[in-house]
Structures are given as structure tokens and as C-alpha cells.
Structure 1
Amino acid sequence: MIQKISAEDLKKMQDREGLVLQGCGGDLREWEDGIHQMLAEEKILQNGAHFKEIYAFEHEGCTNLLFMMDGIELDTGRLALWRLRTHAQFGGTWLSDYLPNRLGVEENVQNGKPDCPLIGANGNIFNLMGIAARTLAENDQNDEAKEMCRRVIQCGSYDAALGVIGEYVNIVSIDEWDEPELNGMEY
């Protein structure tokens, strides 16, 4: 069941993670059913899992849905890939990205993962790995960068490699990236 909350309520969820879909017009129950069906077909939701907590909220004139990921059996690598692939259609982002980038909430320092502009970048896994490694190095996380690269290279699939990258950085859109030196830079 979808619960309606305010953007202010959303700001209090800094210690949680979820998938935000932006611009969900029409019948929200149809959105809930359709997303569950898509994610099941993509083998993202595992063993018949369903999101238990779904929230609807309004921001900047759009209705958005938040699917909380706590306690849900899902393949996060596949979910990350699906989110990147469908970003233009659903505006999908992680809650941890939405809060600072859309609502201006200061980043949760417990997260420890720097924002990394991968959505909209060349999707070659080695390119994405390089951008993520550079982001980690720029944030004094050289050991994490090396470990991430080693793990990505050992992955047997693109989905798994993308999931590993997402363990080290918050994947954000190039369009949302606010670093002035990156404006106009090609990836």
C-alpha cells in the first residue's frame, strides 16, 4: 500500500536507502504493480519479493514514488543497471542521491560514499570504473579505489561489476553533477 508523505518527511530518511521514481502521474497503484512486474521480469526482485514500504510525495510539481529497499530480497547490481538504463523514462535515482541533489539535504557522513557522475556517461564498464576510481582518489579513498578496481575486473558480468561500483560511490547523473570543472567534460 502506498503511503503519502511530504518532502519534509522524506528529509528525515537520511539513514535509509530506496529507489525514487520521478514524475509518476496517474493511478499510483498501477505504477506500483507495473514496477513490481518489471523488476520481477528483470530478475531484480528475488524469490517473489515485493516492496513493503512505498511512499508517494510531491516535489516541484511532480508526483514521485519511493520504493524502500530495507529487508527486500533483490539483486542490487541488476537494479543499478535497470535504473541507469531507464533513467530517461522514470528519472530513477537513489534516495541517498535525491536528498542532497533535489531537496538540499546535507549528505549523511555515515554513508562515506562520494557522489560520482556515471548516469549519462559512456556505459563501457572500464570507463565507468575509471570515473569511479578517480572520484574515490579525489576523495582520499585510494585504497578503496584499488580494491574496487580489483573487484570489478574479477566480476563475471556487467551487472555484477556495476553493483560493485555502486558499493563504493553514489551513482548520480552528469546533469545533476555540480562540480564546475566537469561542466562540458565528455565522458
Structure 2
Amino acid sequence: MKKITAEELRTMKDIEGLVIQGCGGDLNEWVDGINGLLTEQGILRNGSAFQNVSVSEHDGRTNLLFHMDGVDLDMGKLAMWRLASHCQFGSTWLSDYLPNQLGVNMDEKLIQKEKPDCPLIGQDGNIFNLMGIASRTLKENGLAEQATEMRDRITSCSSYGEALCIIGEYVNITSAKDAQEQSGSFEMKQSY
């Protein structure tokens, strides 16, 4: 099971999946339970099961995304099950969840936001210092939601290396020296 952010989920406009909302407790039990229910009802065919499952958080709820790629499904039966189980599991299609829960415009082409440059190389390597610099950079570039998301991911990760990789997903890591040189050359040009 892969944990994904709301931003990653927003980019999944070209795939379809089944979203189960408000999952609590052991998420592996949820995956096994959903696979078992769908097998019993003849929705999962020929011994197939959902193997590719992502977990995300939204509005204080833990949600599971069951990716449909490579799964032998009876789509008609799955559609009926989804409708019948909506009240019980909050089940919905990803293509419905994105616009209705995350406000994604499904007609708009995905525009890849450019990550802002962030001068981290040469700074004090304490992860909280680096996270603070990256967070300020994101906020200065109008990306406060991403700053919060980044902080939450970093504070729940398990290693320094993983934390650095997370920072790199949100900002282009540059050298503090390069940023000073660019700033200095700008100031020199202005003084003429």
C-alpha cells in the first residue's frame, strides 16, 4: 500500500479507481475485506484481486484508492455494488471523487506547476531547518497548502533521507551560494 498526497491524487485524472472513504483501523484488513466481498459477489473474477492500493488523507478521513489496472472485473456488477455500498463505505469512483471532494476540474488539462527554487545546499543540515526554509519558499510562491502537506509528510516519515526526498518533491533544491550570487549580480546591475 502506497501513501499518496492530495496533490498526487489530483494528478490522477486519466485513470479510474474505486475510492473507499473513512477507513479506520488496520488498512490491510480493509483491503482484504473489500477483496473478499468483491470476490464473493462475483465482481473480482478468475482469482483476481486489487493489489495496487493507495492511501490518502482528506478532511480528517483516511481513504483507500483501489486501482483497476490489471484487475479482472465485472464492471457492471462493480457499478451496482458501488451504488449499493455508498452509504456503508463512502464508495465512489475516482473520477467522481476528484471534482466533488478535491475540486478538480476534470475538463481542464493538467498543468504541471513549476517547483520553486529553494537554496538549501550549504545551509545548516538540521531537517527542521531545511523544512522551515522549504516551507517559507513554498509560502512565498503562493503554495501554502503544499507547505503544510510537505511538513505533515516529513514529520511522519522514518528517515532523514526520506525527508530530503519529500522536500525535493515540492521544491528545486539549489545552492545558497548560487542564490546569493544571483542576488548579488542583480544588485550590481541595478547600481549602474
Bucket of the pairwise TM-score, normalised by the shorter protein: 0.5 to 0.7
Distance 1:102 1:69 in 2: 20
TM-score normalised per structure 2? 0.55
Distance 1:37 1:3 in 2: 20
Q: Does 1:75 align with 2:77?
A: no
Query: Using CA pairs below 8 Å that are at least 6 residues apart, which structure has the higher relative contact order?
Result: 1
Structure 1 counterpart SS, 2:63: strand
The letter of the residue matching 2:22 is: G
Structure 1 residue 52: Cα displacement: 2.5
Higher helix share: 2
Distance 1:57 1:106 in 2: 19
Contact 1:51-1:67 within 8 A present in 2 as well: yes
Task: Name 1:102's counterpart in structure 2.
Answer: 101
The letter of the residue matching 2:50 is: F
Structure 2 counterpart SS, 1:86: helix
Distance 1:106 1:23 in 2: 23
Q: Which runs of 4+ in 1 moved over 3 A?
A: none
TM-score normalised per structure 1? 0.57
Task: Name 1:123's counterpart in structure 2.
Answer: none
Q: Which runs of 5+ in 1 are unaligned?
A: 111-187
Once the two structures are superposed, residues 130-185 of structure 1 have per-residue CA deviations (whole angstroms, 9 ceiling, x without a partner) of: xxxxxxxxxxxxxxxxxxxxxxxxxxxxxxxxxxxxxxxxxxxxxxxxxxxxxxxx
Structure 2 counterpart SS, 1:47: coil
Equivalent residue runs for 1:116-135 within 5 Å: none
Task: Name 1:13's counterpart in structure 2.
Answer: 12
Contact 1:15-1:108 within 8 A present in 2 as well: no
Task: Name 2:123's counterpart in structure 1.
Answer: none
Task: Name 2:85's counterpart in structure 1.
Answer: 86
Contact 1:18-1:66 within 8 A present in 2 as well: yes
Contact 1:14-1:108 within 8 A present in 2 as well: no
Q: Does 1:65 align with 2:58?
A: no
Structure 2 counterpart SS, 1:67: strand
Distance 2:71 2:28 in 1: 19
Equivalent residue runs for 1:16-31 within 5 Å: 16-31=15-30
Q: Paired residues, what number?
A: 109
Distance 2:29 2:63 in 1: 14
Distance 1:108 1:102 in 2: 16
Structure 1 residue 108: Cα displacement: 3.8
Distance 2:57 2:41 in 1: 28
Once the two structures are superposed, residues 66-95 of structure 1 have per-residue CA deviations (whole angstroms, 9 ceiling, x without a partner) of: 001112110010001001111100000000
Q: Does 1:4 align with 2:3?
A: yes
Structure 1 residue 50: Cα displacement: 1.1
Contact 1:20-1:92 within 8 A present in 2 as well: yes
